[in-house]
Amino acid sequence: MMNVLTLEHFATRVNDTFISANDGNAAFILKEVCPLQSATIEGMLRAPFSLLFHHSSPILFNQKIFMLQHDALGEVGIFLVPVARDGQGFLYQAVFN
C-alpha cells in the first residue's frame, strides 16, 4: 500500500474499476480526476486533488473509508462521500489536501 497518494496515481485510471471487498464487492468506477487550486505551503507532500467515483446501485453507502482494490494500484483506503445521485446510481467524491 502506498503512503501518500497523488493525482498521478489516478490520472490514467479514469473509467477503471475499484472494488470494495468489504462492501459485497461493490464496484466503484473512477469518473474524474481533478487538481484543486490551493496556495503552495512549504512542506506539502502533494498537490491537492479530488476524485469522483460512480457506483451503479440504488443503495446509498454512507461516507467512510473504503478499502478499494485496483489491479495496478493494489489496495488503497479512500474516504468517499456521497455527493449526487443520477439515474444509474450514486456519485462519491474523495478530496486529498
Instruction: Quote the pLDDT of residue 39.
Output: 63
CA 69 to chain centre: 11
Instruction: Quote the pLDDT of residue 1.
Output: 43
Q: Across residues 44-70, what is the average pLDDT? A: 92
In this predicted structure, the answer to whether residue 2 has a pLDDT above a threshold of 60 is no
Closest CA to 23 of 62, 54, 74: 62
Instruction: Quote the pLDDT of residue 41.
Output: 67
Instruction: Quote the pLDDT of residue 37.
Output: 84
| Burial environment of residue 90 by CB neighbours within 10 A (0 to 12, 13 to 18, 19 or more) | buried
Cα 82 from Cα 55, distance rounded (Å): 10
Scanning the chain, the segments in alpha helix (DSSP H) are 7-10
Cα 96 from Cα 33, distance rounded (Å): 11
Q: Across residues 45-60, what is the average pLDDT? A: 91
Domain boundaries of the chain, sorted by first residue: 7-29+36-51+64-96
